[in-house]
Structure 1
């Protein structure tokens, strides 16, 4: 799967943020789309270590993923998550959230 182009990202942003009146509501909109569309669990490499992304979480007005390795668990901001190749189904919503934070919300 290739990264979506700007027009596709704009359409995803519009879909996630429809009827949102502030940034907090927009983040919740993206969380909802990720919860519905991101295929979990999936494997990725984080700081050279293979981890399993087992969930997503909404806290303090940002989205985080729950990464697991063995019995250890850690939440990291979804913005810091390196995506595997190929990315999991629904990863376009991560790209749309990143796009919104960089270009739309700014």
Structure 2
């Protein structure tokens, strides 16, 4: 999904309006995603394998590591960088926010 530039800027501002530096921006985006902007579970591919994204892992996430997602494959869960996942038909709201995060990363 391609979010138009103005909409992407507005969503990014929504997540980072009170942030003063890059680290605060990162946490603002993470909390915005974790607090309901992503509709879990999400279907994705990790290294070409189908997985189900079930949550975000704030404890493992950080400015230099990026947002870490918890993915389920079979009966096991694994941490995977959110930016490394290829999402399969996410709902429109989730797709917008995933694109905002990738834009913020410069991807």
> What interval of TM-score do these two structures reach, taking the shorter chain for normalisation?
0.7 to 0.9
Which residue among 87, 90, 101 is the counterpart of 1:87?
Answer: 90
Structure 1 residue ranges without an equivalent (≥5):
none
> Which residue in 1 is equivalent to 2:14?
15
CA distance in 2, matches of 1:55, 1:96: 18
CA distance in 1, matches of 2:99, 2:105: 10
Matched, 1:77 2:53: no
Runs of 4+ aligned structure 1 residues displaced above 6 Å come to: none
Matches within 5 A, 1:33-72: 33-35=32-34, 36-58=36-58, 59-61=61-63, 62-72=66-76
CA distance in 1, matches of 2:40, 2:27: 19
Instruction: Single out whichever of 39-48 and 22-31 deviates more from structure 2.
Output: 39-48
User: What displacement does 1:24 show?
Assistant: 1.2
CA distance in 1, matches of 2:62, 2:9: 25
Instruction: Single out whichever of 27-36 and 41-50 deviates more from structure 2.
Output: 41-50
Query: What are the Cα deviations for residues 80-106 of structure 1, in whole angstroms up to 9, with x where unaligned?
Result: 11011x213422111111111218xxx
CA distance in 2, matches of 1:77, 1:46: 9
Q: SS of the residue aligned with 2:104?
A: helix
Structure 2 residue ranges without an equivalent (≥5):
none
Contact 2:46 2:84 in 1 (8 A): no
> Which residue in 1 is equivalent to 2:26?
27
Instruction: Single out whichever of 6-15 and 57-66 deviates more from structure 2.
Output: 57-66
